[in-house]
Structure 1
Amino acid sequence: MDNENAHGGIRAAEGFHRYDGEKGMDCHEPSNFPTKDGSPSLGSFAEIEEQRIIRGNEKFHRLGWKRLTVVLFVEAIALGCLSFPKSFATLGMVGGVVASIGIGIVATYASYEVGAVKVKYPHVEHYGDIGRLMLGEWGFWIITVVLIFSVTLTVGSHTLTGIIALKNITQSDICAVIFGLVSTIILLLFAIPPSFADIAILGYVDIVSILTAVGITIIATGIHSSQAQAGTDLPRSDWSAWPKEDTDFASAMVAINNIVFAYTFAPALPSFLSEMHTPKDYVKSVYSLGAIEITLYTLIGSLVYVFVGQDVQSPALLSAGPLVSRIAFGVALPVIFISGSINTSVIARYIHGYVYRYSVVRYVNTKMGWITWIALVSVVSFLAWIIAEVIPVFSSILSISGALFSSGLCFYVPAIIWFVLIREGKWYHNLPRALCNGFVFLFGLGVLGCGMYANVIILMEESREGITGKPFSCSSSE
């Protein structure tokens, strides 16, 4: 740690004590007088606590823009890419490519606006703080509740993917509920490191895992397609540039919602930025991730759809054939659990930091800090497992999250943020950004209204046809 960061930690520690004083909490100056029994004086305890605060600040301000890009990659690129080929099959090649690129650009721009709040208002640590700036305490609690539900649902979808993966790899008759518990425990263990900088180290494993798994899937389906075209008994791919004639509005919106879900990294962005040593560098990370996501998602969606055709499954790894699917799922296990665990950490950091905001416990470098942190991570992990068991349909859980939560946190709320917090002067003096944010706002409302309508229709049809799985069923839903 360089001198500037060390001095910053000391200044932060001093600010911590001043803030406590304003809140009416006891703040003691270091004392050199020992007690009669020779135990440390109150001043010695104060010095120890101050050192913990300094080390805590240093620990939670180590992120640079490159490592932030890795953290964002881990948080964003996982489940999303597994649903793209299925979305392309519904929308057609043209519709899928347009939706993938268009939504990616809109989501990247909206995330840029969310990050701009942290630069303008340095005291912002989480998304809920932005809600407080706009609407006071009501805004804080509304955004906080929505964010917790949204990210918990994301962790739940990772739990469900873990169930599907373990079931396919083992090919055993073990009850899916057991695999769910195993997935939950693994997610819990990966979420124990409290600093995003520490989790970023696992991010490199995550990146290799997802790229290798997707590469295996693309190559395997490509070989399958080549053999089919060579005149073997394998069926030819029936991909199309346009949607099938029987594609209805509800099915198309579910496909779009799955694409929206894949680009939802804005909600966690303020939490990540609070650990950066130079928050203004976030722009490099956001644009880098946006370019990577758009390129990767569009290639995955289009290539696997062309190779497999209308019968492509979600998650896409299931389309590679029984043997290759097992291999791909085995390679993808790290990304399933590491990406899921970072979402657990986002919620835990949010809640833990708020509950212990006036205590050294918040830095998770004391016995009480570790006990409360592990307990909170455990609660979030098992709550996500319950969600995965109650809604055991992969596409539905992605689509519900995209329509209900991501529409706001990633689109229309960032647009409102610009108009209320970032804009300087009249809106017509900032016409290009005003028009961009106006479009983002309307897009978000469209995803919310149309997406929820589509989900209700689809779920009613699946329930009527007996397609939906049952809560806590021993057979995993694929």
Structure 2
Amino acid sequence: MSSPITSIDNDNEKKAQFSSRPSKEDPERVVGDIVDLEDHEVFKQNADVDFRTVGWPRATVIFLKLIFATGVLSIPVAMASLGAVGGALSVIGWTVLNAYTALIQGDFRNNHPSCHSIADMAQQVGGVWVKEITGLLFIVANILCAGSGILGVSIGLNALSTHAACTVWWSLLATVVVATTASVRKFHQIGWLTWAGFGSIFAAVLIVVVGVTTRDRPAAAPATGDYELGYYAIAYPTFASGMVASCSIFVSSANTAAFLPVISEMRNPKDYRKALFVCMSIVTGAYLSFSLVVYRWCGQWVASPSLGSAGQTIKMIAYGVGLVGLVVSACLYLHVAAKYCFVRLLRNTRHLQENTLVHWSTWLGLTFGLGSISFVLAEAIPIFNYLLSLTGSLCFAPIAISLPGWLWMHDHKPWAKGSATQRSAYWFHAFLVPLGAFICVAGTYGVIVQILDAYSSGLIGGAFDCADNSGSVSS
């Protein structure tokens, strides 16, 4: 087992002894010797630009902001496909699994502190090719998430202005704002934004939850006459719609690989577990309570994103309150993707932690360049829950389910031939590898089928369409 088993300094973080066998691929781990883990950290303390300034409370809020905002807006729509019981079980199952795989990733990273990202960890177990594939998936995932944030901001601006301008222009404005805020170099400096962003989106969702319970009928339902609410305890979706709904719930808490770069900027990386447990506890409770209430009162008439479910007036209030949260979410996704590329390009050079021309031109080029790609993707797939589902199935299934299982087996090889309990644990983690592959293939198939159906039915007007995407004006 590769976890640190004893501490020998006053800070309980710099030196640890390992009881696993030495590896040529992992020079940090040596049998019987004391290893200075701090020497292997990507960012060194007391450098010209000190990135190691994040405490665990601030890390908790960053984690919350990375997974809470866009996720909570898509789950009520997913419940309309799965039903209340199926949706609730899916929320609990996916958040618990994502919390556990995040724990595996964080423990692995702290045992191998030279790993800055999930791609570095993939190299430890699979070599260069696995690293590059994982790195590509990680970048694409966060670019897609940033795109969903940009799409959410454009929907909010349309709602607030009653579609006063072409949606593409609102998306472009959102991209500029997101890329500018993402250009702040350190997670610590973004800290105050994350507090504001989390409070903003939490308050916005709460407003909608209260708003839907005060209406006689859902805002999107027929104004008069009988109507079918479409609320079911157990629903029977098609395979494609069921996979899209499941992936929407999965992706709402799956971006845990984005936590890893934050660990590299924590003052004490061993505090990661505290931040993770607090974050995932809040997320699970909020997802369940908010989504079940909205689905109970809106049924099949729930909006996507869910902030539009309580009528035009509440929608405008909710988006006005939550706009900061949507911007900060997209900002964090873009920052994480840019930071990964930044470290890959400048690692082991003086430009990584010095205020040089190369340092700044690389950083700003990445934030605005990747932001432009997010803008294009947001306009190409302009339906919020489809964009999130595609992110979950195509990118997060391999790196948030399959890879953590592989990481655990790498650090627990003796368990494969250990006691019955150890063997059971080993093969449970081995099962995560094909599970992630199944979600990737089946989920991507389901999303593609749903997107094609949406285009053929006219639900999606077209890429770079100026039409209102907030439902604030009649077509």
Normalising TM by the smaller chain, what interval?
0.7 to 0.9
The 1:393–1:364 alpha-carbon spacing in structure 2 relative to 1, beyond 3 Å, is farther
Q: Which residue of 2 aligns with 1:298?
A: 288
1:67 CA drift (Å): 1.6
**TM superposition shift of 1:151:** 0.8
> Does residue 408 in structure 1 map to residue 411 in structure 2?
no
- Deviation of the 1:461 alpha carbon: 2.1
Find out whether 1:363 has 2:353 as its counterpart. Answer: yes
Q: Give the Cα separation in 2 of the matches to 1:287 and 1:458.
A: 35
Structure 2 Cα separation of the partners of residues 161 and 320 of structure 1: 17
> What residue in structure 1 maps to residue 135 of structure 2?
144
In the alignment, structure 1 residue 468 sits paired with structure 2 residue 460:
yes
With over 3 angstroms needed to count, the CA separation of the structure-2 counterparts of 1:422 and 1:377, relative to structure 1, is farther
Partner of 1:112: 103
Q: Does the CA-based 8 Å contact 1:118-1:124 persist in structure 2?
A: yes
1:269 matched to 2:281? The reply is no
Q: Which amino acid aligns with 2:360?
A: W
2-structure distance, mates of 1:427, 1:85:
44
Paired amino acid for 1:373: W
Q: Tell me, in whole angstroms, the C-alpha distance in 2 between the residues paired with 1:464 and 1:164.
A: 22
Alpha-carbon distance in structure 2 between the residues aligned to 1:227 and 1:123: 52
**Aligned ranges 1:87-98 → 2 under 5 Å:** 87-98=78-89
Q: Distance in 1 between matches of 2:442 and 2:44?
A: 48
- Counterpart amino acid of residue 389 in structure 2: S
Deviations 1:349-378 (A, max 9, x none): 111112111322212633442232122211
CA distance in 1, matches of 2:449, 2:52: 46
Equivalent pair of 1:225/1:308 in contact (CA under 8 Å): no
CA distance 1:284–1:225, shift in 2 (3 Å): farther
The letter for the 1-side match of 2:432 is V
Do structure 1's residue 223 and structure 2's residue 224 form an aligned pair?
no
SS of match in other structure, 1:468: coil
- Please state how far the C-alpha of 1:412 moved relative to its aligned partner: 1.0
Name the residue aligned to 1:29: none
After TM superposition, give the deviation of residue 329 of structure 1 in Å: 0.6
> Could you tell me how far 1:439 is from its partner in structure 2?
4.2
Separation in structure 1 between the aligned mates of residue 82 and residue 425 of structure 2, nearest angstrom: 30
Q: Hey, what's the Cα distance between the residues in 2 that align with 1:360 and 1:53?
A: 12
Confirm whether residue 253 of structure 1 aligns to residue 243 of structure 2.
yes
Separation in structure 2 between the aligned mates of residue 442 and residue 177 of structure 1, nearest angstrom: 40
Alignment of 1:94-173 (within 5 A): 94-173=85-164
Gaps of 5+ in 1: 9-51
| Match of residue 80, structure 1, among 71, 85, 100 | 71
Deviation at residue 462 of structure 1 after TM alignment: 2.1
1:337 is aligned to 2:327: yes
Q: What is the CA distance between 1:181 and its match in structure 2?
A: 0.9
Which residue does 1:26 correspond to in 2? none
Describe how 1:324-403 pairs up with structure 2 within 5 A. Answer: 324-363=314-353, 365-403=355-393
135-144 or 312-321, which moves further after superposition? Answer: 135-144
SS of the residue aligned with 1:320?
Answer: coil
Whether the aligned pair in 2 keeps the contact of 1:392 and 1:476 (CA below 8 Å) is no
**Deviation at residue 75 of structure 1 after TM alignment:** 0.8
Partner of 1:61: 52
For residue 432 of structure 2, the aligned residue among 440, 450, 458 is: 440
Tell me by how many angstroms 1:149 deviates. 0.9
CA distance in 2, matches of 1:58, 1:69: 23
For normalisation by structure 1, the TM-score amounts to 0.84
- The one-letter amino acid of 1:437's match is H
- The whole-number CA distance in structure 2 between the counterparts of 1:422 and 1:115 is 15
Residues 464, 414 of structure 1: CA spacing in aligned structure 2 closer, same or farther, 3 A cutoff? same
CA contact (8 A) 1:390 1:470 kept: yes
Deviations 1:259-314 (A, max 9, x none): 01101222212211111222222112222222111111111110000111211111
1: CA distance, partners of 2:48 / 2:429: 35
> Aligned in 2, Cα 1:238/1:460: closer, same or farther, shift over 3 Å?
closer
Q: Deviations over 1:68-100 (max 9, x none)?
A: 111101111111100111111111111011000
C-alpha spacing 1:406/1:54, structure 2 compared with 1 (3 Å):
closer
Give the secondary-structure state (helix, strand or coil) at the position aligned to 1:268: helix
Task: Give deviations 1:203-226, integer Å, cap 9, x for gaps.
Answer: 110121011101100010011148
- Structure 2's unaligned 5+ residue stretches are 1-9, 15-42, 471-475
Residue 451 of structure 1 is matched in structure 2 by: 443
The answer as to whether partners of 2:53 and 2:267 remain within 8 angstroms in 1 is yes
**Maintained 8 Å contact 2:80/2:295:** yes
Q: 1:365 to 1:227 in 2, by over 3 A?
A: closer
The 3-state SS of whatever aligns with 1:474 is coil
Distance in 2, Cα, partners of 1:323 & 1:79: 21
- Residue 173 of structure 2 aligns with an amino acid whose one-letter code is V
**Alpha-carbon distance, 1:431 to partner:** 3.3
CA drift at 1:419: 1.0
Task: Pick the aligned partner of 1:208 from 181, 188, 199.
Answer: 199
- Give yes or no for the alignment of 1:419 onto 2:409: yes
For the residue of structure 1 that corresponds to 2:309, the secondary structure is: helix
* 1:237 Cα deviation after fit: 4.4
Contact 1:118 1:279 in 2 (8 A): no
| Whole-angstrom CA distance in 2 between matches of 1:331 and 1:311 | 23
Aligned to 1:42: none
Q: Which has the higher helix share?
A: 1
Matched, 1:288 2:261: no
Distance in 2 separating the partners of 1:258 and 1:73: 17
Q: Which amino acid aligns with 2:350?
A: V
Task: Measure how far apart 1:238 and its partner are.
Answer: 4.2
Distance 1:53 1:432 in 2: 40
Question: Structure 1 residues 129 and 422, CA, compared in 2 at 3 Å: closer, same or farther?
Answer: farther
Residues 395 and 122 of structure 1, relative CA distance in 2, 3 Å threshold: same
Any conservation in 1 of the 2:389–2:447 contact (CA below 8 Å)? yes
| Contact 1:89-1:309 at 8 Å conserved across structures | yes
How far off is 1:427 after superposition?
A: 5.3
User: Are the counterparts in 2 of residues 134 and 421 from structure 1 also a CA contact under 8 Å?
Assistant: no
Displacement after TM superposition at 1:476 (Å): 4.2
What amino acid maps onto 2:133 in structure 1? I
Paired AA for residue 369 in structure 2: V
Total equivalences in the alignment: 427
Cα 1:422–1:68 change in 2 (3 A) is farther
Paired residues of 2:416 and 2:426 also in contact (CA < 8 A): no
The question of whether the paired residues in 2 share the 8 Å contact of 1:403 and 1:452 is answered with: yes
Contact 1:353 1:362 in 2 (8 A): yes
User: Helix, strand or coil: the match of 2:254?
Assistant: coil
